A = this chain, B = another copy of it.
Amino acid sequence: MSIPESVQLGRNTVIEKDVVIGENVVVGHNTVILEGTHIGDDVTIGSNCVLGIKPGGSQRMRKSTEKKSQLVIESGTRMGHLVSIYSGTHISQNVFIGDQASIREKVAVGEESVIGRSAVVELNSTIGKACTIQTLAYITGDTTLEDHVFIGPCVSMSNDKYMGAKDYNLQGAYMKEGAKIGNNASILPGVNIGRDSIVGAGSVVTKDTDDYTVVVGVPAKEK
């Protein structure tokens, strides 16, 4: 464990072994940083967070974890309170993560992106640079957002067409650069959203949308 003198640790923090913390990091009270987590310089972490969670939820499985499955948080990133993030995820520089957000394993979050408060990002998802995922939005597993994508509050996605009834290759959405999804829209499994396309608030998107289009309604149609 390597904690520089410039680090400001809150009270009752738990820092497990093999955690690496950079210069000028601030860690809030009661925050738990689990084994192997890497935190860059100038990162700010709130209180009561749990970082570096091993998938499977069992601390008994921890020993078999490979080195590459660490949680890495790059420099300049700031996060709020009561946040949970899994190991095997990579958070780039200058990301902002809101209070009570949750990010699973094998997720990559690009520079300058925002993960809103109480938002959830499921496993195997890729978030590009300068994306905005707003409050309470849900990014299902196996989703890809290119750069500058905007996900409004309470947007919902799913990746299982048969809802557990059949074997199915889970498919998240793919959203091209600059796509914008209005609040509380529902995105179905495997849907592609076109470049700079807009999905209206409350729409239900059941099929791919073209680049530079606007779709609205239930089911969503081009406007």
A residues contacting B by CB (< 8 A) are: 8, 10-12, 14, 26, 28-30, 32, 44, 46-48, 50, 53, 57-60, 78-82, 84, 96, 99-100, 102, 117-118, 120, 122, 132, 134-136, 138, 140, 150, 152-154, 156-158, 163-165, 180-184, 186, 188, 198, 200-204, 206, 217-218
**Does the CB pair A80–B57 fall under 8 Å?**
yes
Given known A-B contacts A138-B136, A186-B201, A99 and B82 have beta carbons under 8 A apart: no
Contacts A14-B29, A152-B163, A163-B181 supplied; 11 other A-B pairs, CB < 8 Å: A12-B14, A14-B47, A28-B32, A32-B47, A46-B53, A82-B84, A118-B118, A120-B136, A132-B164, A138-B153, A153-B156
**Does the CB pair A150–B138 fall under 8 Å?**
no
**Does the CB pair A150–B163 fall under 8 Å?**
yes
Given known A-B contacts A152-B163, A154-B156, A156-B154, A204 and B204 have beta carbons under 8 A apart: no
**A28–B165 CA distance with the chains assembled, in angstroms:** 34
